[in-house]
Amino acid sequence: MISGSAKGKKLFSPKDAAIRPTSDRVKESIFNILSFQLRGCIFVDLFCGSGAMGIEALSRGSEMVYFFDASRDSIQLTQKNLEHCGLPRDKYSIGQADHKTALEALKRKKIQADFIYLDPPYAMEGQDKLLESIVDMDLLTDDGIILLEFDYSHAPVYDESFLDQIDERKYGRTGVLFLRKKVMT
């Protein structure tokens, strides 16, 4: 981990190349940008992989983190990393589910997140629909931010009529969009 209560803990890495963890460089930059906003927030790590992003959010003071991934291997790796870091069990929830089922579960529980981190397979089709679903299901707080990691060879497309891009960061071939739901006037 880079900072916070689990600083210095080395996370277990995936053995399977299908799990693509966010690089430490990208993770450190994003959390330096978000640093003061994390304390007491609700954070969703969708497509969690090894759990690195959500674990960093917990380590830095998030009130609650929801981890989701469709892969059983990813969920097991995330659980192993959470236990290794010694983070309080009442501060996180883990669910093996595809992104649609995960979003529906959050909606049923009436969860509104301050941050939703999306690291889908870069070539995944329907990312625009995923973003639209988050807004339509009212899964963000009024100031909530979607952080979408992508590869510049598969730049995301989204409907600007319901999302504002508030920032974009580039780290080599990897990009991260910071999106906020549009305020309707």
159, part of any domain: yes
φ/ψ region of 172 (left if φ > 0, alpha if ψ in -120 to 50, else beta) reads left
Residue 152 has pLDDT above 80, yes or no: yes
Torsion of CA 13, 72, 117, 84, to 10 degrees: -40
The string of pLDDT tens digits covering residues 41-97 is 999 999 999 999 999 999 999 999 999 999 999 999 999 999 999 999 999 999 999
The residue among 4 and 140 whose pLDDT is bigger is 140
pLDDT band with cut points at 50, 70 and 90 for residue 25: confident
Could you give the angle at the alpha carbon of 33 between the alpha carbons of 41 and 15, nearest 5°?
Answer: 80
Instruction: Report the sign of the C-alpha dihedral through residues 74, 76, 82, 85, in that order.
Output: negative
Structural domain includes residue 8:
no
pLDDT at 167: 95
| CATH at 123 | 3.40.50.150
- Is 174 contained in some domain? yes
Q: Quick check: is 13 in a domain? A: no
Average pLDDT in the 128-146 region? 95
State the residue for tokens 């954070």.
43
Encoded tokens for 17: 């190349």
- What's the average model confidence in pLDDT over 18-46? 84
Pairwise pLDDT comparison (56 vs 185), residue with the higher score? 56
What total of structural domains would you count in the chain? 1
Of 75, 42, 70, which Cα lies nearest the Cα of 57?
42
| 89 within some domain | yes
Task: Please report the pLDDT score of residue 35 as a whole number.
Answer: 81
Which domain does 29 fall in, by range? Answer: 24-181
Instruction: Check pLDDT > 80 for residue 104.
Output: yes
